[in-house]
Amino acid sequence: MKIAVYIGDGHLRSDSRFLGLVSDLERGGCSVYYVESDSALEDGTDMLLSVGGDGTFLSAALIALSYSVPVAGVNMGRMGFLSEGRAEDIADAILSGDYIVESRAVLNAELKVGETMTDDSSSYAVNEMTVRRSGAAMLGVDVCVDGVKLPTYWGDGLVISTSSGSTAYSLSVGGPIVLPESKVLIISPIAPHNLNVRPLVVPDTSEIVLTTQSRDGYFEFSSDNRTCDVPESAIISIKMAQFSLKRVRLNKSNFIQALTEKLYWGEDVRNVRH
């Protein structure tokens, strides 16, 4: 098996856990090589390892999408919902085949500014796409879901999240947690100035069109961990991409258990088992 390795933090190359992982893979007959964000994968690459946290995984995902190879997250960070595998578990799982390759939804955005339409790799996201105010002025976000207009959201912005991203930015602004296999999109306001707005869950077949109102003239648009300034006149159309991300999941992993261990979900003295 030929395995490419993407590392977000170069210091991790000397981490004993990572060195042990590479050693185990090579002893098991795997060919291991390193890639950067702008590197091409070698022919015959079977898997991409993302070494770091979820932010590193999102960067590695862009590489994996370009080559349609599965990506496995090696958690060297703090949280790790996408990169959940421990370094000491990954090698055994890969060498023994004790994993599955699951499909994770990918968002695609088309930005239209005047007569110009953009559609490139920076317009894809695994977790979420976000519009945010770029200055002090409040941002108004007008949303249409399959042609049906919602009341204008006023506040700091709006998050459009996949089910994979429900535990990321969407969660921090009050969005619901949904199981990764759920076929939904989540619309969550950021610091809303409307007292009566709540996050909205829509089918993942929906097309969500965003326009903005702001005295600043510009707003920030983010696709996962990539951000750019966009003119207020832009029209953003967000829908599911026609392809998905191949993500390696260890058979021993469990989403509910991850919620309990990482976010202390349900932490309560009455839930302690003696």
pLDDT for position 193:
93
pLDDT for position 84:
79
pLDDT in tens, the chain (274 residues): 999 999 988 888 888 888 999 999 999 999 999 998 878 899 999 999 999 888 999 999 999 998 999 999 998 867 778 887 888 889 999 999 999 999 999 999 999 987 555 555 458 999 999 999 998 999 999 999 999 999 999 999 999 999 999 999 999 999 999 999 999 999 999 999 988 889 999 999 999 999 999 889 899 999 998 999 999 999 999 999 999 999 999 887 788 877 887 777 777 777 776 5
Q: Tell me the whole-structure pTM to 2 decimals.
A: 0.89
Measure the CA–CA gap between 232 and 235, rounded to whole angstroms: 8
pLDDT for position 258:
79
Measure the CA–CA gap between 176 and 207, rounded to whole angstroms: 20
pLDDT for position 119:
52
With 0-12 / 13-18 / 19 or more C-beta atoms within 10 angstroms meaning exposed / middle / buried, residue 148 is exposed
Q: What positions carry a catalytic annotation?
A: 54
